[in-house]
Amino acid sequence: EPEVTQTPSHQVTQMGQEVILRCVPISNHLYFYWYRQILGQKVEFLVSFYNNEISEKSEIFDDQFSVERPDGSNFTLKIRSTKLEDSAMYFCASSDGGGGTEAFFGQGTRLTVV
Amino acid sequence: GQQLNQSPQSMFIQEGEDVSMNCTSSSIFNTWLWYKQDPGEGPVLLIALYKAGELTSNGRLTAQFGITRKDSFLNISASIPSDVGIYFCAGRLNPNFGNEKLTFGTGTRLTIIP
């Protein structure tokens, strides 16, 4: 079964450092998303991406965040200057966007900011 | 913003028991989804509901889309150990597939007592 893969599974970074979280969406999918989940809390939408541009973003997704699809397969989330409160699980998801299936989620990257 | 409240927050049951949980919203959603999350993993879709009043089953799981479009419930019959995890409802305004964000509920943690 096709799956969304994320790397790394766990990233520890110092406050103020830049991090890049990587995702390989399912190959024929056109819509890409990032969600985050602070420990013990609900999953929250960050951003959606289609046709090489952001479709929608939440208030969490401020100027410190950016997304990119640098090639035909990867989808990345960059946090420019991490803060302690950025510590969370970050989930990438992808969907085909048509009359097909709902979004598939990756297994997540646990980001710990120290 | 839209809020999805799930109840109960947690459940402790014995193997073989039936489980019922629900999700209520302060506003209307046109698609309701139920996900299960295992520890350290991403959400996995269990059931998708697209019409008010719709009742859908997936094996031992049954979910209904409330007529008011502001609630949904999930039932699990004859629980087994692998049912342990956190169950999230999620809503989407757009009735069609597409890149619109999901709003997740607060989660119900299911524990099976030996």
From the DSSP assignment, how many helices (H) and strands (E) are in chain A? 0, 11
Q: End-to-end alpha-carbon separation of chain B, Å? A: 40
If you average pLDDT over residues B92-113, what whole number do you get?
84
For an interface test with B, give the residue of A39, A43, A60, A94 to mutate (most B CBs within 10 A).
A43
Q: Is B93 left (phi over 0), alpha (psi -120 to 50) or beta?
A: alpha
Mean pLDDT of all residues belonging to chain B: 92
Per the CB < 8 Å rule, is A31 touching B99? yes
For residue A24, the distance in angstroms to the closest alpha carbon of chain B comes to 14
pLDDT at residue A99 is higher than 80:
no
**pLDDT (average), residues B45-69:** 95
pLDDT of B68 > 90? The answer is: yes
Instruction: Report pLDDT for A96.
Output: 85
SS3 B34: strand
Q: Report, as an integer, the average pLDDT of A80-95.
A: 96
**A20 and B76 Cβ atoms separated by less than 8 Å:** no
